[in-house]
Amino acid sequence: MQRKSIISEEQCEEDLKRFTKLAVKMGALDAKPINAKNVFVEDWVRLKCQYGCGAYGKSLTCPPYSPRPEQMRRALKGYSCAILMMLPDESMTTHDLVAKLERHVFLAGYYSALGLPAGPCERCKKCNLKYCVYPRLARASMEACGIDVYATARKNGFHIEVLRTTRQKPTYFGLLLVR
C-alpha cells in the first residue's frame, strides 16, 4: 500500500527542481531529479566493500554495520523520486553536503528524506563501533548499502568510468531519497 502524502505531485515536482538547484549551490558539481526505480541495488557491490576496501568493518557507516542490499531494496520501494548528485572529491565535503541537503529537504516537509554519500565516513580518526558521535551527519554510503553507483549514474545520464591508473581522479556521487 502506497502512503498518502500531504505534498501534491505538482508541489513535489517544483520542490525537486528547487532542491536540485540548491544541491549545486551547496557544492554539488551537478544534480538531477531521478525516478527511484532507476537506483540499482546489487548484492555484489557490498562484497566489493568487503573484499577491496580498507574501511570494511572500521566504521558504523560501512559494512557489516550499514544496511544490507535486501534492506535497501525494501527501503527503495517506499520512494518514488530522488536526487542524484555528482560531488566534489573531498570526502567530508561530500558527506556534509548530502547531510545538509537531507536536513533542508526534511524541514521542507519531506520527512522520509534520506541521504547516501560516497565512500566511508572519515569524521572520526577511529570509529568506536558502538554508537555514532555524529548521528546528524554520518550516513552510510551508496556502495555500503549495495547501490551500483555505475549503473545508477549511467542510467540517469551521468558519465562515469572505471579508473585505470592511480593518476586518474574518481567521480563521486551522492543520492538523496526524497519521497
Q: Is residue 2 part of a domain?
A: no
Residue at 93 is within a domain: yes
pLDDT at 9: 86
CB 166 within 8 A of CB 66: no
Q: DSSP letters of 96-164?
A: HHHHHHHHHHHHTT-TT-EEE-SS---SSSS--SSS-S-TTT----TGGGTB-HHHHHHHTT-------
Domain region containing 145? 9-177
In DSSP notation, 10-38 reads: HHHHHHHHHHHHHHHHHT-SEEEEEEGGG
Q: What is the mean pLDDT of residues 23-39?
A: 96
98 in a structural domain: yes
Contact (CB, 8 A) for 29 and 86: yes
pLDDT band at 92 (very low <50, low <70, confident <90, very high): low
The three-class DSSP label of residue 71 is: helix
Predicted confidence band of residue 8 (pLDDT cuts 50, 70, 90):
confident
Q: Is residue 43 part of a domain?
A: yes
What pLDDT digit, counting tens, does each position of 152-169 carry?
999 999 999 999 999 998
The pLDDT of residue 89: 80
Least confident residue range of 5-19, 54-68, 153-167: 5-19
Q: Is residue 148 part of a domain?
A: yes
Instruction: Tell me the pLDDT tens digit for each residue of 100-111.
Output: 999 999 999 999
Is the pLDDT score of 2 beyond 70? no
* 4 assigned to some structural domain: no
- 141 residue type, one letter: S
Count of domains forming the chain: 1
Q: pLDDT at residue 1 above 50?
A: no
